[in-house]
Chain A
């Protein structure tokens, strides 16, 4: 592959042929605002917020950095007065039909429209006109969908069709009435949606929010702990959102095997962790009933009983089931316990089931 030399903000850079201006700026650590662009999705160049000034062979133009390919000898400026003016106008147009309810919005603090409005000092819409008044969709236990906040970047549409392969969402209608919609504009719960929530993960504003998480914690209140999903064997990376020693939600960022994708269980199936049914103390059967006991009492009883059975009936009269839900370290220790302490190879787990 041949390479291309160009100049961005006065800095010389060489990029592989086919790179966009945006990719070239990222290599230089120059940040350009984007809304519709996402590295895992196809480019559409619809929001125009990433416009830059690019000059090739003396011809200057304002062009979206996410779509325009780098060309030999190109000279790019990313923050000229004209570029900034374009970006401000785009933000004013978006805000003209976007609720200014940041005070109570669940995405406050994690919203690109908010970030860029701050960055470019856009305080008011600047235009007046019609505003949408869509009903907020709140009838499923996973996702809140507020199309009044949608900026029509289409990330959710592309995520659903290009990554999830489900194509539940697309643009419907024309002009001001354009809306991201399911077939026949049914709620997600009546559509083909599988509630993976991958659309939520890529939504740059508050149009799509995790229902429980965004009602439980402000975005800046949570600590995110990177770990691995407790469900199937794919091994998706997840972020546990922790507030006050409680798991209040799951988000996805850059899992080694999954990127930002998760399934409905991984993203929305964390509620069991704090369910009131969780066992909190050891239980011992007394007169036919399981009653709470101390760790010491429980462990001593088990040790005594296992010891008795081993002495009276031999090691092979004992058996152990380990767990495909526990860690490697725990499985290792349990088979060590079975073989070294109980003295039998009677250990298995549910790999066969």
Chain B
């Protein structure tokens, strides 16, 4: 096991290799691994020849990414890069798992390209116990994407730019037409709200005030709206800004399905009646649609799933009745289809796997005289996202009650900090205050904290610069300075 992380996490401590990477330089490491695998002729010739295209391009693109060059940029010893490359290439099965550490950078998309290149180069894809897996941070983030809660696709990733798709949905939904224009991503929505071109927003179960990059900007943007509706189970920081707040039922109070990180659609079951006058989100949406003159009636979530199945080839065979027995992994195109355990076994979605050029795009902020440290952000085991739920359990928040800033002992000496010192962390966008924890988990030059605690809203500091392709903000890295608070 090789763990790539700037910090020596618990997982890193039990791994065979810990690659303590400088934040934001992942594509350089990944290209260097490909460089070694190609130079030493360790690549899977059968797989590359039969299943992929563009290999000669890849050879050319990664030629200059030698481990020695990568060592200078990533800080990872070249010897380690050689070893990991050889072990990955020669393993019978190998899996690459990643999370936001790879994607929340300006070069996030490039990093993912580089991961895909590596897996295809070694043929570690399309078979059991191998492949590439982005681990999903939220119970139904996979399902939200599958269901078309995205500005460019409807369900099952069917593009809104396709006339055929729009026609099919317009007929099923009994409307004249669907917009053929891509909508705004969450970051673009905040920009448009700030500019005043976006007038009204409807937010269901999200708390962008704490989760968005450059949270000060997100707050100002939402305050600039003419009308804001928030539907949630708690009066979140975002809900406090709303004109109307609607009380939603929690997962324990309704029926439905979640799709997990391995595409497994599973049934959730109602255990108790909704709290107070709260209603399930699906019931609320129906109420609202009907109030706006659009007929929307369903007996139950099972009936909604039937409609999803009819419009979505990959969910075509999924029904609540089948899910009562066990979960189903999509694609599951028909009622007699058992679901799909492993993707890409015979061919990729586009046919042959295409190698992509994965460029290194340097992070937007390098440490300088005024902001000499790199701020890395992430999550803690005991908490979840913006803390809406985990700060109210009577258990988790008692055990892990205060957030702190991890500072390496070398930096602590440099800036006169002790364990427990209250510090101000200041970026070009804002400042927060919290206690320092002097710890060698985080390397010199880097400080770390989470975004769970409303009392230390780290996204006031983070950079709103976004990956040009995915629109994902560069949350994993910005430049800060740390001052002892008096």
Contact = CB atoms under 8 A, between A and B. Distances in A.
A306 B135 contact: no
B247 A280 contact: yes
B245 interface: yes
B184 interface: yes
B212 A335 contact: no
A186 interface: no
B42 interface: no
A322 B198 contact: no
A351 interface: yes
Nearest to B226: A309
B139 A229 contact: yes
Interface stretch (B62-70, B342-350, B392-400): B392-400
Given A230-B389, A305-B243, A321-B201, A242 B272 contact: yes
Contacts of B398: 141
Contacts of A212: 394-395
Contacts of B341: none
Interface string B378-417: 0001111000111011111011000000000000000000
Contacts of A327: 140, 143, 251, 254, 256-258, 268, 281-282, 301
Contact of A233 (B135, B183, B186, B233): B135
Interface string A309-329: 100010111111111111111
A232 B139 contact: yes
A274 B275 contact: yes
Interface in B186-244: 186-187, 189, 192-193, 197-206, 208, 211-213, 226-227, 229, 232-235, 239-240, 242-244
A319 B183 contact: yes
Contact of B269 (A226, A305, A346, A350): A226
A329 B256 contact: yes
Given A272-B389, A295-B279, A195 B183 contact: no
Contacts of B301: 327, 329
B188 to A, nearest CB: 8
Nearest to A300: B291
Contacts of A319: 183-184, 189, 192-193, 198, 200-202
B14 to A, nearest CB: 7
A265 B291 contact: no
A298 B232 CA distance: 14
A268 B381 CA distance: 12
B260 A340 contact: no
Contacts of A141: 394-396, 398-399
Nearest to A232: B137
A256 interface: yes
Interface string A278-309: 11111111000010000100111111011101
Nearest to B390: A269
A233 B256 contact: no
A15 to B, nearest CB: 26
Interface stretch (B16-24, B49-57, B147-155, B359-367): B147-155
Interface string A210-254: 011000000000010111111111110100101001110000000
Contacts of A246: 272
A162 interface: no
A324 to B, nearest CB: 4
A332 B308 contact: yes
B233 A279 contact: yes
B305 A234 contact: no
A349 B393 contact: no
A269 B146 contact: no
Contact of B200 (A194, A306, A330): A306
B272 A331 contact: no
Q: At the interface, is chain A mostly helix, strand, loop or mixed? A: mixed
B211 A349 contact: no
B423 to A, nearest CB: 25
Given A233-B138, A319-B184, A329 B261 contact: no
Contacts of B235: 277, 279, 283, 290
A285 B242 contact: yes
A299 B292 CA distance: 9
B197 A317 contact: yes
B147 A346 contact: no
B250 A329 contact: no
A235 B260 contact: yes
Nearest to A194: B381
A195 B398 CA distance: 13
B264 A257 contact: yes
A223 B247 CA distance: 26
A285 to B, nearest CB: 5
B273 A230 contact: no
A305 B201 CA distance: 11
B431 interface: no
B323 to A, nearest CB: 11
Taking each of A247, A265, A345, which has the highest tally of chain B beta carbons within 10 Å of its own beta carbon? Answer: A345
Query: Which residue, of A189, A194, A232, has the highest number of chain B Cβ atoms within 10 A?
Result: A232
Interface in A181-213: 189, 194-195, 211-212
A337 interface: yes
A350 B138 contact: yes
Contacts of B90: none
B208 A277 contact: no
A102 interface: no
Contact of A279 (B139, B211, B232, B288): B232
A306 B289 CA distance: 11
B110 interface: no
B392 A326 contact: no
A317 to B, nearest CB: 4
A325 B139 contact: yes
B139 A318 contact: no
Interface in B149-179: 149-152, 154-155, 160, 169, 173, 175, 178-179
Nearest to B145: A351
A239 B252 CA distance: 11
Contacts of A305: 200, 226-227, 243
Nearest to A285: B243
B257 A281 contact: no
Contacts of A165: 14
A271 interface: yes
Interface string A340-353: 11011111111111
Contacts of B257: 327-329
A328 B145 CA distance: 9
B201 A231 contact: no
21 contacts: A142-B399, A225-B271, A227-B267, A227-B268, A228-B139, A232-B137, A268-B395, A271-B393, A272-B392, A305-B227, A309-B199, A316-B179, A317-B200, A319-B183, A319-B189, A323-B144, A324-B143, A330-B282, A340-B294, A348-B184, A353-B208
Interface of A: 140-142, 165, 189, 194-195, 211-212, 223, 225-235, 237, 240, 242, 245-247, 256-257, 263-265, 268-275, 277-285, 290, 295, 298-303, 305-307, 309, 313, 315-341, 343-353
The 6 closest A-B pairs by CB, nearest first: A280-B276, A233-B136, A235-B260, A327-B256, A323-B205, A345-B183
